[in-house]
Structure 1
Amino acid sequence: MQTSLRRNAKVSSLLVLLMILAGCAVGPTYHRPDVTTPAHYKEAPQQQELAPHEAGAWQTANPAEAALRGEWWKLFNDETLNALEQEAHQANYSLQAAAARLKQARALLGDARSALFPTVEVGAGPTRQRQSPASQGLDDGASTTPVTLWRAQASVSYEADLFGRVSSTVDAARADAEHSEALYRSVLLALQADVAQAYFQVRELDAGLQLYRQTVGLREQTLQLIQRRYDAGDISELDLARAQSELDSARAETLAFERRRTTAEHALAILLGKAPSEFSLPEQPLTRIAVNIPAGLPSSLLERRPDIAAAERAMAAANARIGAAQAAFFPRLSLTGAAGFESSELGNLFEWSTRTFLLGPLVGAALSLPIFDGGRRQAGLDRARAVYEEDVANYRQTVLTAFREVEDNLANLRLLSQQMSAQDAALNASARAARISHVQYNEGSISYLDVIEADRTVLAQQRVAVQLDGERARSAVSLIRALGGGWDMPVPLAAK
């Protein structure tokens, strides 16, 4: 009885010791590095808080990387754009590849977690063996009889996580999975922005096509008038040639816009996961888009941007791998056991008398500590620390780049607004000058060359106005992308 109590006490003491050692994890505690965050954006308007009707359908929300990006493109109130975004979410192959990478990372996390639990295996089968005379204490020349041994047994193996090697590996795998998820969201946000910008590019070209087709129509009418005046002998052939030249030039520009529009439509088709031959977008000229997008505070950008979250999770994974590298300097305890049946005949295999068990390492020692490895463990630790330092630098650079992108797009929208106001004034003035030149030409006070120059100026101003409208729409998309997108978009099934 006392022997049994002493044995139980020793086992209990061993379990307590193992539990204490398991809590002795080594490795640095992770803290997100500090970064310099400005109090406000230099290029943002002074009034940051806008009413819902002033901000449109998109507003900043409480920052949190865990929150999901929403359907921010609905801000533009364009049903065609809404449909294209949904198509891209379902069919874009780059997004599907990112979802597959996320699945891989989550599978690796499951693989790492499995090391926290024992491994149980079962097996059965015969072995044929002839032992040497020396192994049985006989002379070298003695003869032995080969025997057949039938086995059916279950084996258990488990590595006690004494110094946190396994848990550090799991932490690293978990951070890697979160890193892949953030990268997936970054690809998703980039896809949303690319579709919107490609769509507005096509619409801008549609507006240019409409402008030049109208110009071609007007110049055809002008050529007819010039032809009649020439036939009547009122003007020279020079004016007729100039009118024909302007018409042909407008037709050439129309074809140039059609060529560029075709290329832009093909690029949009690829984003939707379609061959260019399978996609056609009806012409719809771009109209002026006026939206106000509140930028929020710079500090919120650290939690809104998926690329910043990805860089931060990469740091966390690298920090955890430092712990795993440090744990290699400490002992490893492997516990193994096996139990089952062994018999010389298959018919007797499962009889009670043939039972067998083994406690302890099957191969090697239960507790192992490498003494000399030529610097391999130290090199592994040095590498893990260097990787962490690299990821810290990448994280801080990513934050700086994010601040620059927001400032750039805020400045673009602010200056574009001013530029468009000046451009509208220039367009109105050139249109008035063109009307006056036509009147004066009809009165014979100026030459047709002055009329051509006035018309060219109007066309150039109209073309710049169309380009500014497209640039403003794309800059609005770029700002939303730089701010991290919206907040209420569910994760596609492919990423779960």
Structure 2
Amino acid sequence: MRTRPPFIPKYLVLVMTLGLLSACTLGPDYKRPDIPEPTEYRESKGWKLARPADVLHKDTWWELYEDPILNQLVRRLNDSNQTVAVAEAQYRQAHALVQAAWAQRMPSVTSSSTFTRSVSSSGGTSGGSSSRGGSTSGGGYDCDGDGDYDEDDEYCQQETGNTGTGTTGTGSNSSSGSSSSGSSSSSSSTKSPVRERYDVGLSVSWSADLWGNLRRNQESQQALKEANAANLAAIRLAQQASLVQAYLQLRVLDAQQRLLDRTVEAYSRSLRLTKNQYEAGMVAKLDTTQAESQLKTTEAQAIDLKWQRAQYEHAIAVLVGVAPSELSIDAVETTPIVPDIPVGVPSRLLERRPDVAAAERNVISANASIGVAETAWFPDLTISANGGFSRTDSTADLFSVPYRYWSIGPRLDQTLLDFGARRSQLRQAEATYDQQVANYRQTVLTSLQEVEDYLIQLQVLEREMELQELATIAAKESLRLMENQYKAGMIDYLSVVNLQTSALTSERSVLSQLNNRLVASVQLIAALGGGWNGEPYPDLSPEELIAQAQEAEKQRQAEENASLMDKMKNNVEKSLTWLKEYL
């Protein structure tokens, strides 16, 4: 006896078939494009090795410069910079698009509740015989007297209860053999009932995503989200680098201001000495005029630094998100130093640079878009189901079996003729992919170039500064000897003036070289990716972001209060010291 095969429900077969088809994903899988990956930097030969700094791993690379005021300013920038705020909003937009792409893969459930109230007009013509000269009535009763029968008449009949009656007519001749006075039966319009209908329903629709259209779209949006996260990190790094550069240049200007102030004091003493010698008849008038000219020139140079410092201060204020009038940075006696920077290897650069990461994520997104374009050649399957309850004139027992309805079924949509639209969209997607690949490779090449440029710049500037410092030492010694000879009356003051100018220029050149080295060091750190470790930006809700900003503002205010207390303490100590010396 043949065994009967087990019964398999049709719906189970359908579900299994859809599950197998849903595993199909059209389009190419992502493969990283070939890019240049040198084993070491060319200009790193002779580079001073430095141990990897912990601050780079903590994304606090600016702490390498060991300046508490700078640390405070960068924290304010992270919380209040408007350019960073724009990038952060763009990231949240991309995050929302990823959630929307995921939602498209899920079933869509909608509910509906409707109530309708309707009325239909009806009327007839009276039967029986008609006589000449008589009248007949038909249709509805003209209740409102406007000459026609319409919805207003129905409403008038319902309100007044008057349905109207036909009129009878008489005549001498009868066409139907009835009495000569034959009468015509009257016709009246019947009152149309008002119908009420109640419907409550639920519908479900789901796209089977047989060819991976929705999955590829979600993959593309996820890559764009990660690209926006990397862009946010890149913009934050650029703003931080701008602030650090401006702050370090401001501190170098403070050092130049101190140098010029000391020089003005020295030139003032030289001018007094020269005037005394002139009054004693020891030197000519020319010496005093040269000394005075030298003094005034240096004073003008000192004044010129003030507007440069103010501009750096204004730029820092805008970077931290406040008006220039709300920020003031006091001068300090210390001069920043160039830190030792761990360079690493080029392969790490591709992981640390956020702009390189953003460019690669754009390639991934473009690759997924090719799959989306390829799915347009295949049919879309949508499964829909709906059901509910419907009843007329009453809601009693509405949710009972006699008033139930339902339907379920698939729908297959296939474009048969589009005159090349799908092929054009596919070519566009492929061209976009090629564009993003080229942009990715160019970004990698540019990043490698920037690191090499700043490496050689720092090396050359360091050697140049060493030689400039030796030149400054020699110039100071020459000036000391020349001043002694002038005091002994062996030379004129013009020789002293020339050496003073040379010594001052040499000292200012040293500070200029320091400024260039500091700026180059910041640029090198930024070219290496700062402290970014490639981690995605945390998915925070708007409430969490607001709470985080409020906490940072509280911390900033506490630091400002502590700084004010320190200043007051220092002023009190200075006042007590002055009182002790005075008393």
Q: Which secondary structure does the structure 2 equivalent of 1:267 belong to?
A: helix
Q: Tell me, yes or no, if structure 1 residue 473 matches structure 2 residue 518.
A: yes
TM-score under structure 2 length normalisation: 0.76
Q: Aligned partners of 2:217 and 2:48: how far apart in 1? A: 44
Asked whether 1:87 is paired with 2:76, we answer yes
1:148, CA displacement in angstroms?
4.0
Please tell me whether residue 461 in structure 1 is matched to residue 506 in structure 2.
yes
Task: Give the aligned partner of residue 76 of structure 1.
Answer: 65
In the alignment, structure 1 segments of 5+ residues that lack a partner are 62-68, 132-143
Q: How many residues align?
A: 468
Q: Aligned residue for 2:490?
A: 445
Contact 2:112 2:201 survives alignment (8 Å): yes
The correspondence for 2:319, drawn from 266, 271, 276, is: 271
Cα pair distance change 1:308/1:353, threshold 3 Å: same
Question: Which protein has the larger Cα radius of gyration, Structure 1 or Structure 2?
Answer: 2
Residue in structure 2 matched with residue 171 of structure 1 by the alignment: 219
Q: How does 1:372-411 map to 2 (within 5 A)?
A: 372-411=417-456
- Cα distance in 2 between the residues matched to 1:285 and 1:311: 44
CA distance, structure 2, for counterparts of residue 91 and residue 342 of structure 1: 58
2:307 corresponds to 1:255: no
- What percentage of residue pairs aligned between the two structures are identical? 36
- Does the Cα contact within 8 Å between 1:286 and 1:470 map onto a contact in 2? no
5+ residue gaps, structure 2: 1-5, 121-191, 549-583
Q: Secondary structure at the match of 1:155?
A: strand
Q: What's the offset of the Cα at 1:337? A: 1.1
Q: Provide the rounded CA distance (Å) in 1 between the counterparts of 2:449 and 2:545.
A: 33
Q: Report deviation, 1:49.
A: 5.7
Q: Is the 8 A contact 2:370 2:429 kept in 1?
A: yes
CA contact 2:47–2:459 (8 Å) conserved in 1:
no
* Partner of residue 353 from structure 1, selected from 399, 402, 421: 402
- Equivalent AA in structure 2 for residue 102 of structure 1: Y
- What is the one-letter code of the residue matched to 2:318? I
Whether 1:369 and 2:426 are equivalent positions in the alignment is no
AA at the equivalent of 1:281: I
Q: Is the 8 A contact 1:91 1:272 kept in 2?
A: yes
Deviations along 1:15-52, one digit per CA (max 9) or x if unpaired, are 222122212211011111010111110111357864x4
1:345-386 Cα distance to aligned partner (Å, 9 max, x none)? 24233233111112136xxxx001101112111111111111
2:25 aligns with 25
For the structure 1 residues 20 and 85, does the alpha-carbon distance in structure 2 shift closer, same or farther, using more than 3 Å as the test? Answer: same
Letter in 2 for 1:81: L
User: Offset at 1:127?
Assistant: 3.5
Compared with structure 1, are the counterparts of its residues 49 and 247 closer, same or farther at alpha carbon in structure 2 (3 Å cutoff)? closer
Cα deviation code 1:397-422 (max 9, x no counterpart): 00001001111111111111111110
What is the one-letter code of the residue matched to 1:302? L
Aligned residue number for residue 323 of structure 1:
371
The letter for the 2-side match of 1:181 is A
Counterparts of 1:494 and 1:236, CA distance in 2: 74
- CA-CA distance at 1:58 after TM superposition: 5.2
2:470 matched to 1:425? yes
Q: 1:122–1:154: 8 Å Cα contact kept in structure 2?
A: yes
SS in 2 for 1:360: strand
The secondary structure found in structure 1 opposite 2:395 is: helix
Aligned equivalents of 2:54, 2:30: Cα separation in 1 = 39
Equivalent position SS for 1:347: coil
Per the alignment, residue 16 of structure 1 pairs with 16
Confirm or deny: 8 A CA contact 2:198 2:395 kept in the other structure.
no
Match of 1:242 in 2: 290
Q: Distance in 1 between matches of 2:353 and 2:385?
A: 50
Q: C-alpha deviations, 1:152-182, integer Å up to 9, x for none?
A: 1111111111000000010011111111111
2:195 touches 2:393 (CA, 8 Å); kept in 1? no
1:223 lines up with 2:271 in the alignment? yes
Structure 2 CA distance, aligned partners of 1:105 and 1:57?
A: 32
Partner of 1:139: none
SS at match of 1:328: helix
- Partner secondary structure for residue 383 of structure 2: strand
1:93-151 CA-to-partner distances (Å, cap 9, x unmatched) read 111111111111100100110011101111101235789xxxxxxxxxxxx99854321
Q: How far did 1:443 drift?
A: 2.1
Cα shift at 1:471:
1.7
Say which SS state the counterpart of residue 84 (structure 1) adopts.
helix
Tell me the TM-score normalized by structure 1: 0.89
Cα displacement (A) at 1:78: 1.3
> Among residues 107, 110, 124, which one is paired with 2:96 in the alignment?
107
Amino acid at match of 1:436: L
2:258 pairs with one of 196, 207, 210: 210
Aligned match of 2:248: 200
> Contact 1:38–1:298 (CA<8 Å) still a contact in 2?
yes
> Which residue does 1:122 correspond to in 2?
111
Contact preservation (8 Å) 1:109, 1:170: yes
CA gap 1:339/1:48 in 2 versus in 1, 3 angstroms: farther
Q: 1:220 to 1:48 in 2, by over 3 A?
A: closer
Shift of residue 9 of structure 1? Answer: 2.9
CA contact (8 A) 1:302 1:309 kept: yes
From 184, 204, 211, the equivalent of 1:156 is 204
Asked if the contact 1:115/1:166 (under 8 Å) is kept, the reply is yes
Shift in Å, 1:236: 2.1
Q: Structure 1's 253 and 82: CA in aligned 2 closer, same or farther, altered over 3 A? A: same
| C-alpha RMSD over aligned residues | 2.6
Q: 2: distance between equivalents of 1:307 and 1:145?
A: 73
Structure 1 residues 57, 103: closer, same or farther in 2, change over 3 A?
Answer: closer
**SS of corresponding position for 2:111:** strand
Mapped partners of 1:48, 1:394: distance in 2: 33
Change in Cα spacing, 1:218 to 1:486, as seen in structure 2 (3 Å) is same
Alignment partners' CA distance in 2, 1:130 and 1:162? 47
Residues 49, 212 of structure 1: CA spacing in aligned structure 2 closer, same or farther, 3 A cutoff? closer
- Distance in 2, Cα, partners of 1:395 & 1:295: 22
**What is the CA–CA distance in structure 2 between the aligned matches of 1:358 and 1:195, rounded to whole Å?**
65
SS in 1 for 2:446: helix
**CA separation of 1:399/1:129 partners in 2, compared to 1, >3 Å: closer, same or farther?**
farther
CA contact (8 A) 1:204 1:286 kept: no
CA contact (8 A) 1:130 1:147 kept: yes
Structure having greater relative contact order (Cα 8 Å, sep ≥ 6):
1
Counterpart CA distance in 2 for 1:240 and 1:294 is: 54
